[in-house]
Chains A and B, each alone.
Chain A
Amino acid sequence: MTGKIQLQTLSGPKGLRWSRTLFSVKELGVIGGIVLAAVIFTVLNPQFLSMTEAASIITSAAEIGIIAIGITILMISGEFDLSVGSIYALCPTIWAYLFVQQHWNIWLSLVCALIPAALTGLANGLIVTRFHVNSFIVTLGTQMWWRGIVLVATGGYPISYFGSSKLMHVLGGEVAGGLHFTAVWFVVAAVLGWFVLNKTKFGNWCFASGGKPDAARAMGIPVTRVKVVNFCISALLAGLVGCMDLARLNSVSPAQGQGLELTVIVAAVIGGTALAGGIGSVVGSCLGALLMGMITSGLILMGAPSYWYTSFVGLILIIAVMFNVRVSRISKSRGA
């Protein structure tokens, strides 16, 4: 007699399954946050819904968002990167130094500027995986290392460039109506990140590496390689966004990006990415970045001192994570 095993979890009453589908949307919290922020800021100042405002929101969301995409993929595979804030200052500094002060070709300079980012990612990844040092510590170390070096090398002074160049235009110039090319790159990075995570073998390996490294290894997945690659992606995106910022603002400050690493982690976490790895979504992180952009613009519009931004983000972080934990519990308990 052949035993027939029914997986009972997969057949539940219809009503329950509908609500479970809703509660299993990991981006639910951040979507709620965006709606709430939009309503509050619009009530306080209807200007909030104007095109100019939208463009400024998207511009700040784009820069946080692109770095957050890299961080998200890395966090899903089970690691952190605190060095992104310094790399965001390092790469444009090198880029500007090479083509402004040394008059190198601007394209070649960009490539050379991004090499240290890739190498930092590689170093972060190898130290974390080979020497079994927590990524929090390793990337805090590389963050401080590069910040110090950038400050020493520039003497603390910003480097500016007011000439025009095709490359700079494509990286951070204005498209139309206050909207910058960074927004285009944000969309490109989001689509690519989403695709890689959900539709490719590598994405599958990322979730497995962060979700349960031992099981992933037992199934023959090169967990170490996955993590190292993701450290490099995270660092490269941070360096690239730094260069986009230079292209948009025509200036790079050696002090820029302090605290940025926490901002992007907050964007990812608000969007449903778990600190413990294995869970997260690029869409969620992009929406998280959008929410941060809305808060920045909304507070400026209200004429509130910019310090409020920090307090607000802290508050929203806690509320969002409380909400996410609750939602995932509901979805789990309905499942069991």
Chain B
Amino acid sequence: MGDILQLSNIQKRFGTVQALRDVNFTIAQGEIVALIGDNGAGKSTLIKIISGYHAPSEGRMVFDGREVHLRSPNEARSLGIETVYQDLALVENLSLWRNFFLGKERTSAGWLNVLRREEMEEACMEALADMGIRLRSTREEVGHMSGGERQAVAIARAAYFGAKLLILDEPTAALSVKETERVFEIVKEVSRKGVSVILIMHNLGQVYQVADRFVVLERGVQIGNFTRDQTTLDAITQMVVGVH
């Protein structure tokens, strides 16, 4: 499979502060990459560059075979780079199907934009079933669902609407072990469907269960890039906490 994202020599300066230097890695199609490092390592800056919030000061970004210069998050999204934030993903007081199609509603022709409700309910049900999420009805309010279920739905939604690269920022924060496993199942499911995933997580034990590759940052510098076969949990833990 080809590469979905190639970063070469990415640098980012904010005034005189060098936030990132020399970041080089590639993400293959369907690959799950964990971006790890302590607070202030530059993970957020890098994510914001990939998702179009910041432009890099230097460096090349090739997405899906073409060099890109993202000017806005919307541009990134339209290319297929979707960021899912845990607490920003869904509107609790709306039903599941309304959330799923929020901003991308299917409507009948005419200025009133009447919702094609049954069609969307069915499509939502099918799309979730396709990701391994089985349910009876999509009319339930999202506020009644657990954190893990919401996260799963948000990920499934992004994949359904054509995301090629999903960025998940702390997707399992404040989730129970069981819920975390559910979220990981969905992450694996979308990756099997060819969607690449970047995971930012502090819990290395958890992220080690699911990621194919680990990119380690420290104070803006990329200090490691391993596939799972090349490393162990102990080794990456020691790199992150600085015993190396």
Contacts and interface: CB of A to CB of B under 8 A. Distances in A.
Contacts of A201: 105, 107, 113-115
Given A199-B115, A208-B102, A7 B133 contact: yes
Given A199-B115, A202-B113, A332-B143, A215 B185 contact: no
Contact of A211 (B85, B89, B92, B144): B92
A279 B146 CA distance: 20
A13 interface: no
B106 to A, nearest CB: 9
B91 A211 contact: yes
Contact of B140 (A10, A207, A211): A10
Contact of A3 (B85, B102, B185): B185
B182 A221 contact: no
Contact of A10 (B74, B107, B136): B136
Given A201-B115, A207-B93, A221-B103, A9 B188 contact: no
A328 to B, nearest CB: 10
Contacts of B143: 332, 335
B70 to A, nearest CB: 16
Contact of B144 (A3, A9, A200): A9
B134 A218 contact: no
Given A3-B132, A3-B185, A278 B93 contact: yes
Interface string B82-126: 000100111111100010001111010000111101000000000
Interface residues of B, number: 40
Interface string A192-206: 000010011111100
A279 B113 contact: no
A214 B91 CA distance: 9
A165 interface: no
B102 A216 contact: yes
A5 B88 contact: no
B132 A219 contact: no
Contacts of A212: 88, 90-93
A336 interface: yes
A6 interface: yes
A102 interface: no
B220 to A, nearest CB: 27
Contacts, number: 105
Contacts of A220: 74, 77, 103-104
B152 A5 contact: yes
A11 interface: yes
Interface string B162-188: 000000000000000000001001101
Contact of A218 (B88, B149, B152, B186): B88
B223 interface: no
A204 B146 contact: no
A2 interface: yes
B231 interface: no
A9 B145 contact: yes
B141 interface: yes
A223 to B, nearest CB: 11
Contacts of B103: 216, 219-221
Given A7-B135, A336-B144, A204 B89 contact: no
Nearest to A201: B113
B115 A9 contact: no
B137 interface: yes
Interface string A217-241: 0111100000000000000000000
A201 B189 CA distance: 31
Contacts of A279: 93
Contacts of A219: 102-104
A5 B133 contact: yes
A219 B82 CA distance: 11
Contacts of B74: 220
Given A212-B92, A221-B102, A5 B114 contact: no
A279 B140 CA distance: 15
B185 A5 contact: yes
Contacts of A216: 91, 102-103
Contact of A208 (B91, B107, B137, B146): B91
B93 A211 contact: yes
A4 B144 contact: no
A4 B94 contact: no
A207 B94 contact: yes
Contacts of A221: 102-103
B90 to A, nearest CB: 6
B135 A10 contact: yes
Contacts of B133: 5, 7
Nearest to B77: A220
Contacts of A7: 133-135, 140, 145, 149
Contacts of B182: 3, 5
15 contacts: A5-B182, A6-B135, A7-B133, A7-B134, A7-B145, A199-B115, A200-B115, A201-B105, A204-B98, A207-B91, A212-B88, A215-B88, A220-B77, A335-B140, A336-B146
Interface of B: 74, 77, 85, 88-94, 98, 102-105, 107, 112-115, 117, 132-137, 140-141, 143-146, 149, 152, 182, 185-186, 188-189
